[in-house]
Amino acid sequence: MEYQYFELDNGIRVIHKTVPGKVAHCGVVINAGSRDELSNEAGMAHFIEHMLFKGTIRRKAYHILSRLENVGGDLNAYTGKEETFVFASFLDQHYARVLELFSDILFNSTFPQKEIKKEKDVVLDEINSLKDTPNELIFDEFEELLFKGHPLGGCILGSAKTVKSFSREDILGFLSKNYLSGKMVIASVGSIKPEKLFATIEKHFGNVSDKNGQSNRVPFSDYQRHTIIESKSNYQVHHMMGAMAYGIKNDKKTTLALLTNILGGPGMNSRLNLGIREKYGYCYNIEAHYQPYSDSGSFNIYFGTDNGYLEKSLRLIYKELKLLKNSKLGSLQLHRAKQQIIGQMAISLESNLSEMISIGKSHLFYDRVDSFVDMIKKVESISSSDLLDVANEIFDYPNFASLTYTPGK
């Protein structure tokens, strides 16, 4: 069996893949992200991710960072809209050290007042840094526009106003609602034997209280088309357009992923890249993205261009969208598109760290993980008619939301 599964009595789920090698990767993913925040808590999940490294009952901040770095390991974390992931890469003989550290920072953090004050400045600087990066900022602000008035639209970093307002009591309150055993998955990819791994996890996580908690997530359903143009101190136009898309459990998810890859995936032979950058030289960066969430999703197209090329670029994009809505792919085109995305998936799984993160999230949201063979079967089952149907559902470009940053402020 490709993956081994285990569950503690307190509800913490474990997934492991045994692979040969000296380097291992392990992490804890929590079903809590920015969409779980109240409006006055915007940025809290991300702020807590920072604060997990600032001291526990047993360790000061320096000792947390040094615990793995002293043996050449790498400790990291990230916050998403629906999850927080703490993870590490290390030599495989250090599993016990890693798991003990995870348990300590997740359940014994003290959140010192001095560190809270200091970390607020760090996060405020991170927010300002994002504002200085328009090709990143537009992704956040577009989802705020797309999911207007809904927690899915909130910026993961929060705002300066909310971050400045956070107190230690606020942090503990968010933790008590979200950092619960029933909302956690431990993922591992390494050479350790499953029995030894599960015993080590039991030792360090088995005494965690059995708590599940109720999800207060409400699906977004009130999509309305919004068009916003903002003047920024940029040298070029940044434009994003798109609409709501399928959630992570929707059967059409793989079809839309393939369609997005054909339109504007990372390959230089994507239709947008060939039809706009290579043919006309109107832009350097042009790409399409599909982001599925647990109960919804977003599809978008982003590009940057000279102000004089904006309308020309838009007309060419609409032309490509219309073509995918009106014309089926030929059998050879479909075969090549499938082979491309299968190859991309295979290359992404060459990274054991990426696979560990992927299987952790999949087990968290699906309670299962598809094997690579299963993923290939899903891609191979897609027909030209399937792509046409999804294109007509999602690529309704007259009703796309859009956000444009124009130069000149």
Return the SS3 of 409.
Answer: coil
- Checking if the pLDDT of 283 tops 70, the result is yes
User: What is the model's pLDDT at position 224?
Assistant: 86
- Checking if the pLDDT of 404 tops 80, the result is yes
Which has the closest alpha carbon to 353: 103, 2, 90, 68?
90
- Checking if the pLDDT of 409 tops 70, the result is no
Angle CA(75)–CA(140)–CA(409) in degrees, nearest 5? Answer: 120
Separation CA 79–CA 30 (nearest Å): 10
**Count of beta carbons in the 10 Å neighbourhood of residue 64:** 21
Q: Could you read off the pLDDT of 51-65 as tens digits, one per residue? A: 999 999 999 999 999
At 310, the amino acid letter reads L
Q: Could you read off the pLDDT of 116-127 as tens digits, one per residue? A: 999 999 999 999
Angle CA(257)–CA(260)–CA(266) in degrees, nearest 5? Answer: 100
- Checking if the pLDDT of 210 tops 90, the result is no
Do you know the residue count of the chain? 409
Token duo for residue 379? 């891609």
Task: Label residue 265 by pLDDT band (50, 70, 90).
Answer: very high
Separation CA 63–CA 384 (nearest Å): 56
Separation CA 310–CA 287 (nearest Å): 15
Separation CA 241–CA 47 (nearest Å): 29
Average of per-residue pLDDT values in the chain: 96
**Count of beta carbons in the 10 Å neighbourhood of residue 192:** 20
Separation CA 316–CA 74 (nearest Å): 45
Contact 281, 361 (CB under 8 A): no
Task: Label residue 367 by pLDDT band (50, 70, 90).
Answer: confident
CA distances from 229 to 55, 237, 249, 404, 406 (A): 44, 10, 34, 5, 7
Quote the DSSP letter at residue 85: E
Contact 129, 179 (CB under 8 A): no
Contact 44, 37 (CB under 8 A): yes
User: What is the model's pLDDT at position 321?
Assistant: 98
Token duo for residue 317? 């994009």
Quote the DSSP letter at residue 362: H
Once rounded to an integer, what is the mean pLDDT over residues 195-205? 98
Please state, for a pLDDT cut of 90, what percent of the chain lies above it. Answer: 93
User: What is the model's pLDDT at position 338?
Assistant: 99
**Count of beta carbons in the 10 Å neighbourhood of residue 234:** 17
Contact 297, 246 (CB under 8 A): yes
Which has the closest alpha carbon to 378: 342, 334, 327, 340?
342
Contact 85, 78 (CB under 8 A): yes
Domains delineated in the chain: 4-205 (3.30.830.10), 227-407 (3.30.830.10)
Task: Label residue 179 by pLDDT band (50, 70, 90).
Answer: very high
Q: Could you read off the pLDDT of 212-250 as tens digits, one per residue? A: 777 788 888 888 899 999 999 889 999 999 999 999 999
User: What is the model's pLDDT at position 104?
Assistant: 98
Task: Label residue 1 by pLDDT band (50, 70, 90).
Answer: low
Q: Could you read off the pLDDT of 111-168 as tens digits, one per residue? A: 999 999 999 999 999 999 999 999 999 999 999 999 999 999 999 999 999 999 999 9
Helix (H) or strand (E) holding 238: strand 237-245
Once rounded to an integer, what is the mean pLDDT over residues 367-383? 94
Which has the closest alpha carbon to 102: 80, 82, 87, 84?
87
Return the SS3 of 153.
Answer: helix
Please spell the DSSP secondary structure of 265-325, one letter per residue.
-SSTTSHHIIIIIIHH--EEEEEEEEEE-SS-EEEEEEEEE-GGGHHHHHHHHHHHHHHHH
Which has the closest alpha carbon to 174: 44, 56, 85?
44
Burial 81-99 (b: 16+ CB within 10 A, else e): bbbbbbbbbbbbebbbbbb
Residue whose tokens read 């916003």: 228
Number of alpha carbons in the 13 Å side-chain half-sphere of residue 90: 25
Please state, for a pLDDT cut of 70, what percent of the chain lies above it. Answer: 100
Which has the closest alpha carbon to 68: 25, 119, 12?
25
